[in-house]
Structure 1
Amino acid sequence: MPDLPPHLWYSITSFGGAGLTLPLAIAIALWLAFGYTWRMAAGWLLLLGVAVVLVTVTKLAFLGWGVGVRVWDFTGLSGHAMLSTAVYPVAFFLVLLPARPAIRVAGVLCGLGVGIAVAFSRVVLDAHSPSEAITGCLVGALTALVFIRGSWHAAPGRLSTAAVTISLAILAFALHNVQVPTHRWVTHLALKVSGHDRPFVRARWKAGHDARPAGAPVSQTHNTLSPPAPSKA
């Protein structure tokens, strides 16, 4: 494991936050619609939307009902890992779409590398287990690669490579430290849907302290649960 100062790990992990990656994804869609076709833009947003829903569902399942895989220490897909491995490869692909295939491949690999670095930082910072970071990466990479595969032979657009590069770079660095309380929102939704007054948390769940009869009312179950966990995505 690289021996980096904590502030560098936090800096790396910030590149996977929803406050940065989602606006970047929308900017990519706008460039696709303007320079290529609206179908490419819609396809990109649809694929990313499916991935976001998948991450959200796994988090809701754990926070609301304790659904996870104890042997893998899995409580839900890492949102940071998924978003970074989905968005950055597509960003590089968009910038390099007019270039030769070999250069495009190199760019996509660089984007995947950024996503893997973010996922690794989540494990180092104890925000996620390895299984959650890896599965998040897999979902994100699949999202990116499916889009890239379908758009590989797109006709050259009307975009200026410099304009696209500069705009995405400015957006990435301007929003680098923007925090969005996604974990708090998902936790609130999980409690609302499940009817419980406290979410499941990893430590007690792994120890098997959160077991309860199916369908038991909140009044019979909330004393077995721990207080809300720190924000993680």
Structure 2
Amino acid sequence: MPALPSHLWYSITSLGGAGLTLPLAIAIALWLALGYTWRMAVLWLATLGAAIGLVTVTKLAFLGWGVGIRELDFTGVSGHAMLSTAVYPVALFLVLLSARPSIRLGGVLLGIAAGMVVGVSRVVLVAHSPAEAITGCIIGALAALVFVRAAWHLQPGRLSALPVAVSLMALSIALHDVRVPTQRWVTHIALKVSGHDHPFVRARWKAGHHRPAAAPLSQTINTLQPAPHSSDV
């Protein structure tokens, strides 16, 4: 992995946090509704929602029932990787909507690349395995490309690029390190649905244990993602 200082990896991984990417996604939807139609806004939110649902299902399956792939160290799709590769390409697409198609496509690819870097940060910080980060990037990129394909022929010029860019940039700066305890929420849902008192934990699961950890819930949640900045969808 690239030899960057740890604080830079933490800053990069924060770009994929739900506290930043979800407000950006809502801002994108509002701009779409303002400049075009609510139909496009709903399409964007529905596409992203489907990707979030898929990530959540994989996490619930592991936390509640220990469903994963040991050979790949896979316990659930990385939400950071998925959200960043879904949101940033669409944000750049919206900003560049009035530009030439080649520039617009370049923006989308740049957004996907940024999301992939976030995925790498999750592996470097030992918050996810490579398989979990890669699947997150794939799902996020597919969600972005599905929406971009549907919106590619939107009439340019109905939104001014400057206010869109400034608003999204301001959100990114203001919310860069805002953390949302999504992992804790998903864990509580998994326990509620599965009926278990304690969630499955990666280390015990990899060792072949078929029962959830018996440690106190607060301690167990803290060990689900060993690195800081590890709240995930």
TM-score (norm 2): 0.93
Corresponding residue for residue 117 of structure 1: 117
Q: Provide Cα deviations, 1:82-113, integer angstroms capped at 9, x if missing partner.
A: 00000000000000011100000110011011
Number of residue pairs matched by the alignment? 224
The CA deviation at 1:230 is 4.0
Q: Distance in 1 between matches of 2:17 and 2:213?
A: 31
Corresponding residue for residue 175 of structure 2: 175
Q: Distance in 2 between matches of 1:27 and 1:224?
A: 41
Q: Provide Cα deviations, 1:5-30, integer angstroms capped at 9, x if missing partner.
A: 11000000000000000000000000
Corresponding residue for residue 80 of structure 1: 80
Q: Provide Cα deviations, 1:165-187, integer angstroms capped at 9, x if missing partner.
A: 00000001110000000000000
Say whether 1:227 aligns with 2:220: yes
Say whether 1:187 aligns with 2:187: yes
Q: Provide Cα deviations, 1:125-152, integer angstroms capped at 9, x if missing partner.
A: 0000000000000000000000000110
Change (3 A) 1:152 1:195: same
Which amino acid in 1 is paired with 2:160?
Answer: S
Q: Distance in 1 between matches of 2:213 and 2:120?
A: 34
SS of 2:220's partner is coil
Which amino acid in 2 is paired with 1:207?
Answer: A
Give % identity. Answer: 71
Q: Which runs of 5+ in 1 are unaligned?
A: 213-220
Corresponding residue for residue 126 of structure 2: 126
Q: Distance in 2 between matches of 1:158 and 1:59?
A: 40
Which amino acid in 2 is paired with 1:227?
Answer: T
Contact 2:204 2:213 in 1 (8 A): no
Q: Within 5 Å, which residues of 2 pair with 1:188-227?
A: 188-209=188-209, 211-212=210-211, 223=214, 227=220
SS of 2:123's partner is helix
Q: Distance in 1 between matches of 2:4 and 2:169?
A: 24
TM-score (norm 1): 0.93
Q: What is the CA RMSD across the aligned residues, in angstroms?
A: 1.5
Corresponding residue for residue 215 of structure 1: none
The CA deviation at 1:227 is 2.9
Change (3 A) 1:208 1:224: farther
The CA deviation at 1:38 is 1.1
Q: Distance in 2 between matches of 1:79 and 1:119?
A: 9
Say whether 1:57 aligns with 2:57: yes
Corresponding residue for residue 67 of structure 1: 67
Contact 2:73 2:131 in 1 (8 A): yes
Which amino acid in 2 is paired with 1:8?
Answer: L
Which amino acid in 2 is paired with 1:193?
Answer: V
Corresponding residue for residue 91 of structure 1: 91
Say whether 1:148 aligns with 2:141: no
Say whether 1:9 aligns with 2:4: no
Contact 1:12 1:118 in 2 (8 A): yes
Q: Which runs of 5+ in 2 are unaligned?
A: none
Which amino acid in 1 is paired with 2:5?
Answer: P
Q: Provide Cα deviations, 1:202-225, integer angstroms capped at 9, x if missing partner.
A: 11101101x25xxxxxxxx66499
Which amino acid in 1 is paired with 2:180?
Answer: V
Moved over 6 A (4+): none
